[in-house]
Amino acid sequence: MRGMRRIGFFSIILLISVAIHADAQAPAGLSPETEACIACHQSVTPGIVADWSRSRMGRTSPREALSKPPMNRRMSADKAPLPETVVGCAECHMLNPDTHRDTFEHQGFRVHTVVTPGDCAVCHPVERDQFDHNLMSRAYGNLMENPVYLSLVTAINGSMTLTDRQLRHVTPDDMTNADACLRCHGTKLTVEEKPVTRDTAMGEMDFPVIQGWPNRGSGRLNPDDTRGNCAACHSRHRFSIEMARKPDTCSECHKGPDVPAYKVYDVSKHGNIYRSLSVSDGWDFNAVPWTVGEDFAAPTCASCHVSMIASPEGEILAERTHRMNDRLAWRIFGLPYAHPHPKSPDTTFIRNKDGLALPTAFDGTPAATFLISKDEMAKRNRIMKGVCGACHSTGWTDGHFRRFEQTIETTNANTLAATQILMRGWEEGIIPGPAAGDSPFNDPLERKWVEQWLFFANSTRYASAMMGADYGVFANGRWYMSKNAHEMLESLKIKAGLPPEGE
The minimum distance between CB 296 and a second copy, in angstroms, equals 9
**Residue 326 binds a second copy (CB under 8 A):** no
Out of 157, 222, 325, 381, which residue is the one contacting a second copy (CB under 8 A)? 157
Among 19, 175, 378, 435, binds a second copy (CB under 8 A): 175
The residues in 252-311 that bind a second copy, with binding defined as CB under 8 A, are 252-253, 255-258, 266-269, 271-273, 275-277, 279-281, 285, 292-294, 297, 311
From CA 222, how far away is CA 229, in angstroms rounded? 9
For the CB of residue 67, give the shortest distance to a second copy in the complex, in Å: 25
Return d(Cα 403, Cα 410) in angstroms, integer: 11
Rounded distance between C-alpha atoms, residue 62 and residue 82, angstroms: 7
What is the nearest approach in angstroms of a second copy to the Cβ of residue 338?
14
Which of residues 214, 225, 363, 427 is near a second copy by CB under 8 A?
214
CB of 21 to a second copy, least distance (A): 20
5 near a second copy, rule: CB under 8 A: yes
CA 109 to chain centre: 32
Contact with a second copy (CB under 8 A) among 66, 207, 343, 344: 207
16, 18, 32, 54: which one binds a second copy (CB under 8 A):
54
For residue 118, count other CB atoms closer than 10 A to its CB: 18
Q: Which of residues 382-441 bind a second copy (CB under 8 A)?
A: 386, 389-396, 399-400, 402-404, 406-407, 410, 413-414, 417, 420-421, 425, 430-432, 438
Nearer CB in complex with a second copy: 356/431: 431
The span from the CA of 443 to the CA of 440, in Å, is 8
- Residue 38 binds a second copy (CB under 8 A): no
Decide the pairing of beta strands 309-310 and 290-291: parallel
Reference 405, options 332, 491, 296, 497; nearest CA is 332
CA neighbor of 56 nearest in space, from 106, 124, 113, 117: 124
Q: Is the dihedral of CA 237, 272, 251, 346 positive or negative?
A: positive
Q: Which of 167, 171, 354, 427 binds a second copy (CB under 8 A)?
A: 167
Q: Which amino acid is at 299?
A: P
Residues binding a second copy: number (CB under 8 A) = 147
When asked if residue 178 is in the footprint of a second copy (CB under 8 A), the reply is yes
Using the rule CB under 8 A, which residue among 68, 79, 110, 198 binds a second copy?
198
**Shortest Cβ 149–a second copy spacing (Å):** 13
Residues 484-503 that bind a second copy (CB under 8 A): 485-487, 489-490, 493-495, 497, 499-503
Contact, 333 vs 360, CB < 8 A?
Answer: no
Give yes or no for a contact between 465 and 332, defined as CB atoms under 8 angstroms apart.
yes
The candidate with the shortest Cα–Cα distance to 450, out of 180, 260, 257, is: 257
255: number of CA atoms within 13 Å, CB side? 10
Q: Which of 106, 72, 141, 56 is nearest to 344 (CA)?
A: 141
Check binding of 210 to a second copy (CB under 8 A): yes
CB of 57 to a second copy, least distance (A): 15
Does position 34 bind a second copy by CB under 8 A? no
Tell me how many helices (H) and strands (E) the chain has.
21, 13
CB of 179 to a second copy, least distance (A): 5
| Three-class DSSP category at 190 | strand
Radius of gyration of the chain measured on its C-alpha atoms = 26
User: What part of residues 112-151 is at the interface with a second copy (CB under 8 A)?
Assistant: 113
Least separation in angstroms between residue 329's CB and a second copy is: 17
Q: Is 107 in the site for a second copy (CB under 8 A)?
A: no
Percentage helix, strand, coil for the chain under 3-state DSSP, each rounded to 5: 50, 10, 45
